[in-house]
Amino acid sequence: MEKDRLPGYRGSAREILSKAGASVGDRVAIVLTDGGRVEGTLMPRYELADDRHIVVKLDNGYNIGVRVARIQSIEVIARRTLPTPVRAPPPEIRAKERVVILGTGGTIAARVDYVTGGVTPVFTPEDLYALVPELSDIARIETHLLFNIFSENMTPQHWSRIAEATADAFRQGADGVVIAHGTDTMGYTAAALAFALRKLPGPVVLVGAQRSSDRPSSDAATNLIAAVYTAARAPFAEVVVAMHQTRSDTAIAIHRGTRVRKLHSSRRDAFKSVNAPPLAVFEKGELTLLTQDYRARNSDPPEVDARFEPHVALIKFHPGMPPDILEYLHDRGYRGIILEGTGLGHVNVSWVDTLRRLTKDMLVGMCTQTIWGRVNMRVYSTGRLLLQAGVIGLEDMLAETALVKAMWVLAHTDDLEEAKQLMLTNFAGEISERLIE
Amino acid sequence: MSQQLDYKALGLRVGLEIHQQLATRHKLFCHCPPTLTTRQPTTTIYRRLRLSESELGEIDPAALLEFKKGRIIEYVCEPGTACLVEQDEEPPHPINPEAVHYALVIAHALHARPVDEIHVMRKIVIDGSNTTGFQRTCIVALGGYIRVGDKTIPIQTICLEEEAARKIGERPGVVTYALDRLGIPLIEIATAPVIESPEECLRVALAIGRLLRLTGFVKRGLGTIRQDINISIRGGALTEVKGVQELALLPKVVEFEVHRQLHLIRLAEELQKRGANPEDVRSKLTDVTDCFQDTKCRVLHRAIKRGERVYAICLPKFAGLLGLEPYPGVRLGREIAAYVRVESGIPGILHSDEIRKYGVSDSEVVAVQRALHCSDQDAFIVFTAPDPETAQRAADAIVKRAKQAIQGVPEETRAARPDGTTEYMRPRPGAARMYPETDIPPYPVTDEAWQRATSYSIPTWDEAVEQLIKEFDLNKQLAEQLLDSPYMDVFKAAVRIGAPPRFTASFLTERLVALKKEGVAADQLSNEQLIEILKLLAEGRIPKDGCLALVRYLAEHPSTSVEEAVVKLGLQMLSEEEVRRIVSETITQNRDVIERRGERAVSAFMGMLMRKLRGRVDPRLLRQLVEEEVRRALTQ
């Protein structure tokens, strides 16, 4: 399929450009109805903008919009000839460790075309070494692009594919795997991989960027350096997330995949470990473990079990909410519900009857919408009633992690009792016996 | 010393770029107030900016220089004047429509044509002055002109852009910026390069500056308006000079630049005549520390004691050309030193034309020449460095500049200094690295918006002067000075709280200027401080000449409050009771004067008491009280 020569243009703007035979990148001369004249390079149109303007880049580098209604004529003066890029020669790779980087979306590296303003994600090892030269001292990199989607569009099927590809990478000899991922649902994927990768020989590090990687201030490069270093050299064999620890570029936190949540829409340090400290911190070129309690690197072959039951829902309770949403889900065949209750794990007492019925063939687990803290339904009567009604308290597990775990557990058993037991078994650090903060 | 140059014959071309801060309610891309802070910072953030390589694999030379410095950038801020947008922790908010409106008003006043749709661009800047690594900027209008005298000066572009962060410190490896200034809306007006003399440059800048001030919506005060110029002469090179803050400095800067470029052209001619060849300038470093083991040169001796090595480089056929200074500050040696400083951090160099002045002996010079295999026809440069990498960077800088010296004038970006000279800052950036700011949708300039802009009425200069004369009973000269001064807002605020208009106008213009000429840093005082001083005057708590005394004191003791300064200077006006008490005490202690002089004792006492109480009492009140007390004493 031929690439669109007028990307973003529609309606009268597209018409007038097509008639002139112009393509984005061509040098055009526009004569206006009042005698004025604009000359420059034709630019693509922003997708949400109207169809009544065309965009031209002037010789001083600035873009301006010209109203179609004011255009008398457009002439193409010169076609764009794409010069061949001159790339720096690949650096000497001094490191020995092999790291595979799987791409799923989210741009960790990009180049800018200053002519059209286009930002092109780059993903080959040569490009990554060129844009982040520090990597050549850290690992030998291989890259595989699995797919390229916004992480909000991911589904459990994507988690399964990532898990399989990760296991494959280890089987082919990788010392560690890095997964480039959009930040929006990175926490969910991390939890999914923690459960799906039953046996791991080395680290699996998810990494993303809060600031687009085309800009000089992007956190992508520093996060990537930490991620690759961790994958290459960390002593643990766990699924983790590598993102900025603070608003400064100095330290990257390595969070356990089952413990991490995105807690800010835009800040670099959006990701925090909840109810637990991070596993490690990467600072000044070194990785410092914050605990000695981790699964160590080993030479066992990886084992994947990436089945997820998609019919599990996460419901956030609010005052006045009627319980009929639960009936609706039950009738649609949902096998599990994770509730984000209030406080220690409460919902309106009017829900108890509905829950008593539903828990006969559905798994219902309780987390807290306070995000932090442990659920304890034995303290207040509401909680006790909910326990009697068959709801299980999920300790200090993050609600999002509980959702993913429930999807995994329910794909492996039909026995509700076994499911409840599995939910309360600590597989990958998602439950802790002690909370100290 | 400076002969009058024929600028026209030299082909002088100057383009002016005026950057003026707008007094909008909030910043250009967020809702912070557009003001500088006086509060202590509460947040410190450390960042590094990475070089972005373009699609073509090109790297901007100015950006590469910054990146090689490998510096950490330290940003400080407090919550009143910077938010997550300034910290680059939140995407920008939509462009401030008030700022766009003001830009359109100015476009109309300059007869420019607005664009149909405003597109905000990202212009890469990685020296740290923008947290994102780029400046957001957009064109609002094109074309236009301003008449200055009988000449029409074309205006090329009118842009709206965000101000940069404020550099407040630098230490090895770290540069510190305050985020309060980042994001304040700036309007940038760029003229065509048709200005042909230093004096014309001043006139054009004044004309544009005045037009901006007449709108009433620009910020006033130090640092709110900056002038950059682009300057070239025939045979020279296009040089960008940034940051001329004071209008009066513009002609000096232009003159300096012309002399500098002329000198460099002549140097190149001379070098070529001597057969100098860029290929012969080599960056191989020679360690000459041993030549200076017993040197009497303090600079070198101290460096050697610190553990640094001394290096030298030969510049073949350059003898006598490094120290030649046909105009104050115009010297090739100074240029080379600036390149070394910018590219390696080494603060200074010594060269053969002047090295003996620093205590280096003839035998040491000979030793260096021998080590370098160079003759008396050649020049050499000596510097010290803490390690070989830094030394090599310095050597590369010297060689680069020396090669350019053989060819002519290099294209540069230079910084204006307060003394009217300019200094190398960085290489001229490549074609502006700009790409669209996709977080901000295009902003159509509707017919209504343009209509609103064109119906904004800006008074003419004469109308504004008349207005001031009428409203505040000022004379024409004071009114004009006030309109041109950075303290117009201070004047209005002070008069509103009761300060006498004529005195206030004169104080804020003539008196402060006179103080500055004396060397008092009067412009260090904030608008708030000046208003406070005038408030005290309005309330009758200090006398008129107390105002100047306070300015003088506060300029020298910047951390003192105005109240503290009043006490320190003993300026507090005395109450009538206190005066009466002092008068009667004085009279009692000097009864003999009354006995001898009778009624005429009044003038004697006035003399005595004015000397003692000058500035703390209204002379008319004093006279009244002295007369009363003398009369009373006489009748006793």
Residue B2: per-residue pLDDT: 47
Q: Report whether A355 contacts A327 (CB < 8 A).
A: no
* For chain B, percent of residues with pLDDT exceeding 70: 96
Cβ within 8 Å of A, B 78-107: 84, 87-91
Q: What is the DSSP letter of B22?
A: B
Mean pLDDT calculated for residue range A346-375: 97
pLDDT for residue B267 is more than 50? yes
Q: CB-CB: which of A60, A211, A250 is closest to B157?
A: A60
Longest dimension (CA), chain B: 103
Closest partner CB to A217 (pick from B55, B90, B133): B133
* Cα dihedral B22, B25, B26, B32 in deg (nearest 10): 130
Closest CA of chain A from B49, distance in Å = 5
How much is the average pLDDT of A107-113?
82
Q: CB B433 to CB A114 under 8 A?
A: yes
Q: Residues 45 to 84 of A: which have CB under 8 A from any B CB?
A: 46, 48-50, 53, 55, 58, 60-67, 70, 83
Say yes or no for a CB contact (<8 Å) between B121 and A65: no
- Highest mean pLDDT among A48-57, A374-383, B294-303 belongs to A374-383
CA-nearest of B324, B329, B351 to B270 is B324
Q: What is the pLDDT of residue B430?
A: 65
Q: Is A305 a catalytic residue?
A: no
CB pairs under 8 A between A and B: 141
Q: Do B115 and A130 touch (CB under 8 A)?
A: no
**Interior CA angle at A185 toward A45 and A338, to 5°?**
135
Q: How do the domains of chain B map onto residue ranges?
A: 22-193+432-436, 272-413, 461-569, 576-635
For the residues A241-270, what does the mean pLDDT come to? Answer: 98
More confident residue, B52 or B152: B152
Q: What is the pLDDT of residue A2?
A: 64
pLDDT of residue B543: 81
- Residue A120 touches partner B, C-beta closer than 8 Å: yes
Task: In whole angstroms, give the CA distance from residue A386 to residue A356.
Answer: 8
Torsion of the alpha carbons at B508, B510, B511 and B513, rounded to the nearest 10:
90
Q: Which of A57, A262, A405, A420 is catalytic?
A: A262
| CATH classification code of B272-413 | 3.30.1360.30
Q: Are the beta carbons of B32 and B26 closer than 8 angstroms?
A: yes
List all residues of chain A from 361 to 420 with a beta carbon under 8 Å from chain B.
none
* pLDDT of B61 over the 80 cut: no
- Residues in B touching A66 (Cβ below 8 Å): 115-117
Say whether residue B116 is in contact with chain A using an 8 A CB cutoff: yes
Minimal Cβ distance to B50: which of A113, A221, A266: A221
Calculated CA dihedral for residues A176, A182, A185, A186, nearest 10 degrees: 20
ipTM computed for the complex: 0.92
Q: Which of B55, B133, B157 sits opposite A215 (nearest CB)?
A: B133
pLDDT of B617 reads: 82
Chain A residues closer than 8 Å to B176 by CB: none
**Cross-chain residue pair A53–B119, CB shorter than 8 Å:** no
Q: How many CA atoms lie within 13 A of B550 on its CB side?
A: 31
Reported as a pLDDT band with limits 50, 70 and 90, residue B62 is low
Per-residue pLDDT averaged across B528-550, rounded? 88
B455-469: average pLDDT: 94
Tens of pLDDT, residues A400-412: 999 999 999 999 9
Q: What percent of chain B has pLDDT over 90?
A: 70
pLDDT tens column, B377-432:
999 999 999 999 899 999 999 999 999 999 999 999 999 998 999 999 988 776 66
Per-residue b or e along B601-614, where b marks 16 or more CB atoms closer than 10 Å to that residue's CB: bbebbbebbeeebe
What is the percent of chain A with per-residue pLDDT over 90, rounded to a whole number? 84
- Per-residue pLDDT of A199-220, as tens digits, reads 999 999 999 999 998 899 999 9
Query: What is residue B545's predicted lDDT score, i.e. its pLDDT?
Result: 80
Does the distance separating the beta carbons of A62 and B50 come in below 8 Å? no
Between positions 80 and 119 of A, the ones with CB within 8 A of B are 83, 85-88, 111-115, 117-119
pLDDT in tens, B74-100: 999 999 999 999 999 999 999 999 999
Token representation of residue B123: 């212009």
Mean pLDDT calculated for residue range A140-161? 95
Q: Distance between CA atoms of B118 and B109, rounded to whole angstroms?
A: 19
Does B61 contact A at CB distance below 8 Å?
no
Average pLDDT over residues B115-135: 94
Distance from CA of B45 to the nearest CA of A (A): 5
Q: Are B609 and B589 in contact (CB under 8 A)?
A: no
Mean pLDDT of chain A, nearest integer:
94
Q: What are phi and psi of B146, to 5 degrees?
A: -140, 135
Q: Answer with the residue of higher pLDDT: A97 or B590.
A: A97
Known catalytic residue at A96: no
B63 or B336: which carries more pLDDT confidence? B336
- Confidence at residue B52, expressed as pLDDT on a 0 to 100 scale: 66
Secondary structure of B349-379 in the HEC alphabet?
CEECCCHHHHCCCHHHHHHHHHHHCCCCCCE
pLDDT band at B503 (very low <50, low <70, confident <90, very high): very high
Q: Chain-wide mean pLDDT for chain B? A: 91
Measured CA angle at B495 (ends B493, B499), to 5 deg = 120
Separation in Å, CA of A262 to nearest CA in chain B: 14
What distance in Å separates residue A352's CA from the closest CA in chain B? 42
**CA A154, CA A401: separation in Å to the nearest integer?**
15
Both structure tokens of B133: 């690594």
Residues of A in contact with B56 (CB under 8 A): 83, 85-86
Taking only the tens place, the pLDDT of each residue in A36-92 is 999 999 999 987 789 999 999 999 999 999 999 999 999 999 998 766 776 767 778
Chain A residue closest in CA terms to B435: A117
Residue B134 C-alpha, separation from nearest chain A C-alpha, in angstroms: 8
Identify the band that residue B611 occupies on the pLDDT scale cut at 50, 70 and 90: confident
* Per annotation, catalytic residue among A50, A51, A184, A305: A184
What's the mean pLDDT in B24-31?
98
Among A26, A41, A57, A107, which one carries the catalytic annotation? A107
